[in-house]
Structure 1
């Protein structure tokens, strides 16, 4: 079979990413730290400030000249595999999550989500105002701090074997609601989108794809079981998961929410146990590590060169806002102080939604010039810091008793 150079280059990049991710993950596991930290650091090593400098390097080996491909772990080609990784991770988490367990923590979930939206929004807006930004720019800073990036937290909770505890389920449910509330707040406050339209599409998604979806999916899975072909159930499950991711995105919700809902519904069918191990094998062996490598590779260390007092304040405000806001919400809902702190720490990370909010604001001309550059740089640094510190902080809250 003849492969094009592009495919071979991508294959080499993926192979290198998987090997280094596994080596670094093993190293951090031996240090009794979450393996996800190793995978993120593998991405940093593969970026332009690490092994990425070998991109395009040519060397001779026993008379054979070998040219390494152009390695880019932030390219669209690599991002395709990485994005599938986070979708598959959320699908797997959905498969392993009990709806009855979600109902048990329903009250804390909503309290945590609201606390995690309101306090960071207020604190971020106040910080912006104190540094001389306009009210619109200040609110944008607050909005940037609202949405939690669940990928790092979920993987860390899984590494610590606490994902299916009350704390883990609360964080998971709150992060999903958090995303939806963040999108609605973005539409309402800045008037970027028609809030009525977003409300309708979100309602349609949850009514049709959540409540009616279970009956339809159950019938589809029963039908798939009757198809006498190898792994037909797995194929159908993956198709459902991809459809849900697509329609969730089109309804104004993130694709990872759709992936989680698909996993949640398929997990309630009698066939779920037959496909669970296969899905985990596909996800954890290939796609999921690539996502975290991509997270590390996207770390722009030059952003730290322009960091100022404002950026430091926003980072601190962002961390405190989530810990205190979500922690108070959990405590008011009846959780212990220790569990409330664990929930608050688990809600710290920011990533894709924060960058999307700022990027849209820039493209719509809501912020321009030096202000746009400053807020964007601050957003990037915030995502880097919160992503890297969360696994360490989260493990500490589970390790030490107080």
Structure 2
């Protein structure tokens, strides 16, 4: 009987988790087909099949189909750690340092103003001080993944405002995690600190987080790179996941949230030379833990708590959420970029909320600090801002200059083409070569078109050089493809016209031409070219991993090296 009573909660947890994962993935696929974030589908799956809805109504042998216990909450916590670890993998410490003062100003305003407005709104509505702090904290963090995906789809990720948006969001995320540490301490202590104490806690949390980052940046890439040299299968993956949970535990030991440590581990690991493999491995883990986390967050919503009063307050919260980010980030961005439209785009792009808002609300609900109606309002705010932001952001870019339509023709700005190709179980290498040829042709067309528009003379020379390089790559790819189709054999690199490139003379000696002006059309064009070369490098690197033939692998590795050199040339010109 003792064994049976011990196993019962485990079996219930297994059934509940299985239902949530399956339904979250199904609804996630539906939302993705509707061009909406998968996360929303996972949230809605939890709402519909959670214990407060169908999961509690449907019974098996008198027991609800979905019933939460400590085991499920533990899995959800692990899911939250993995989600923040993945978020950290998307930005290196070098990117954080390169964000610069303008992004620091925008990111800081994007945290301080939403927190203050959310706090004041709920204090004015008569909520407790703790509730007001939790709502303010839930409004701070931007879900940059939504905006990045939108910018990629419309070919504006490398635009001036796109770059400022991403860098500002990095600062935003870091400061939001410091605010999260404050919320966790308030929830655990059950006492609201004074304003001076709150500032101290946030600053102290930020200092500790930076300390974690410095430790991680120094140690983690070295451990992971060494593990990759071991011949033991899975050693690299084990070190990666151990670093994630180890840093989470270290953060908890320092009095911070484990999520802060996981984010720091991800950012540190992003500098590893095998980051592509790590992301691929973590993506598989996310298939399980992401739906668990977001499913549990959605399932924690009790529809019975939704009333007309809740709806009115939620509408006010959504309005404050949108206005505080658009104004808080948009105004300083407009001053820095000296362009109202570009500033507005930055503000709109920062408006979507995501996992951190849900984590803050979930922490308050679990600790009993906030009631169900307030949690419903926070979840509703996250859902609405996540839906509306990409729609408005895309429309803000609809007035493109006539010549800029060619941006949409670069396949690198449409990553779904490559994602779909690499998802195939049996990769058709010939199709991969065809995609690569189209890529080179359209990239060449872009460089040719823009070389006549760029005013900077060095920029003109470089774009013409790149256009010639892409033409050469296209010819070689076509040559390789023809041989592969005809004889199912790869051409040796020495038999092709692929040779070491000679750098343009613009890089010899000191630059004599005026440098590329910041915030200029020239800079925007070169930033797009830079992004294109980086994505081409990623594509050829992936192809080299998929090809079994030694000659084929070497061929794609050589192309990836050339694309990296192109990227460095553009970067060097911009930095002169």
Moved more, 262-271 or 44-53: 44-53
Specify the alignment match of 2:72 in structure 1: 78
Residue of structure 1 in register with 2:545 after alignment: none
Is 1:270–2:273 an aligned residue pair?
A: yes
Hey, what does 1:101 align to over in structure 2? 95
Q: Could you tell me how far apart the structure 1 residues matched to 2:117 and 2:204 are? A: 30
CA displacement at 1:287 relative to structure 2: 0.8
1:40-62 CA-partner distances (Å, limit 9, x unpaired): 1111111234321344334xxxx
Matched, 1:156 2:163: no
State how 1:8-157 maps to structure 2 within 5 Å: 8-58=11-61, 70-72=65-67, 74-128=68-122, 130-131=124-125, 133=126, 137=128, 141=132, 144-148=135-139, 153-154=143-144, 156-157=146-147
Query: Which residue does 1:342 correspond to in 2?
Result: 348
Counterpart of 1:400 in 2: which secondary structure? Answer: helix
State the distance in 2 between where 1:347 and 1:80 align.
24
- d(CA) in 1 for partners of 2:214 and 2:366? 33
- Residues 191-232 of structure 1: CA distance to partner in whole angstroms, max 9, x if unpaired? 39686577546424422x222332222332244235432101
Query: Match of 1:389, SS?
Result: helix
Count of residue pairs the alignment pairs up: 374
Q: Distance in 2 between matches of 1:329 and 1:377?
A: 36
* Aligned counterparts of 1:197 and 1:119: Cα–Cα separation in 2: 18
- TM-score, with normalisation over the residues of structure 2? 0.56
- Output one character per residue of 1:88-129: Cα deviation in whole Å (capped at 9) or x when no partner: 122223223233333343435422332233323443454456
Question: Against the structure 1 CA distance between its residues 150 and 228, is the aligned structure 2 distance closer, same or farther, given a 3 Å change threshold?
Answer: farther
State the match for 1:180 in structure 2: 178
- Structure 1: how far apart are the matches of 2:85 and 2:269? 9
1:286 counterpart residue number? 288
Closer/same/farther in 2, CA of residues 75 and 306 from structure 1, 3 Å limit: farther
SS at match of 2:59: coil
Q: Is the 8 A contact 2:228 2:236 kept in 1?
A: yes
1 CA distance for matches of 2:201 and 2:111? 21
Select the structure of larger CA radius of gyration. 2
Evaluate the alpha carbon distance shift between residue 250 and residue 109 of structure 1 in structure 2; reply closer, same or farther with a 3 A threshold: farther
List runs of 5+ in structure 1 lacking aligned partners.
Answer: 59-66, 364-374
Deviation for aligned residue 1:290? 1.6
In the alignment, which of 165, 168, 171 is matched to residue 170 of structure 1?
168
Change (3 A) 1:401 1:350: same
Instruction: Report the counterpart of residue 392 of structure 1 in structure 2.
Output: 387
Whether contact under 8 Å (2:51, 2:66) holds in the other structure is no
C-alpha distance in 2 between matches for 1:266 and 1:398: 31
Instruction: Report the counterpart of residue 481 of structure 2 in structure 1.
Output: none
Residues 297 and 156 (structure 1), Cα distance of their counterparts in 2 relative to 1, 3 Å cut: farther
Deviates more, 1:114-123 or 1:190-199: 190-199
Aligned residue number for residue 372 of structure 1? none
RMSD: 3.7
Contact 1:145 1:354 in 2 (8 A): no
Hey, what's the Cα distance between the residues in 1 that align with 2:332 and 2:371?
29
The answer on whether the counterparts of 1:323 and 1:347 sit within 8 Å (CA) in structure 2 is no
Task: For 1:360-371, list aligned pairs within 5 A.
Answer: none
**Cross-structure match for 1:230:** 233
The 1:273–1:326 alpha-carbon spacing in structure 2 relative to 1, beyond 3 Å, is same
Change (3 A) 1:128 1:48: closer
Provide the rounded CA distance (Å) in 1 between the counterparts of 2:393 and 2:64: 43
- Contact 2:93–2:267 (CA under 8 A) maintained in structure 1: yes
Higher relative contact order (CA closer than 8 Å, sequence separation 6+): 1
| Alpha-carbon distance, 1:33 to partner | 1.6
Q: Is the contact between residue 34 and residue 159 of structure 1 (CA under 8 Å) also seen in structure 2?
A: no
Decide whether aligned partners of structure 1 residues 129 and 89 sit closer, same or farther in structure 2, where only a CA change above 3 A counts: closer
Superposed displacement of residue 317, structure 1: 2.8
CA contact (8 A) 2:213 2:268 kept: yes
Distance 2:64 2:365 in 1: 33
Contact 1:146 1:178 in 2 (8 A): yes
Q: What whole-Å deviation, never above 9, does each CA across 1:278-329 have from its counterpart, x for those lacking one?
A: 111111x211122111121111222222735556544533442233223334
Deviates more, 1:115-124 or 1:288-297: 115-124
Number of the residue aligned with 1:62:
none
| Corresponding residue for residue 509 of structure 2 | none
Give the one of 221, 224, 231 matched to 1:221: 224
What does residue 242 of structure 2 align with?
239
Aligned equivalent of 1:304: 306
Task: Tell me: CA distance 1:108–1:147, structure 2 relative to 1, closer, same or farther (3 Å).
Answer: farther
Secondary structure in 2 matching 1:291 = helix
Structure 2 vs 1, CA of residues 393 and 130 (structure 1 numbering), >3 Å: closer, same or farther? same
Distance in 2 (CA, whole Å) between partners of 1:398 and 1:258 is 31
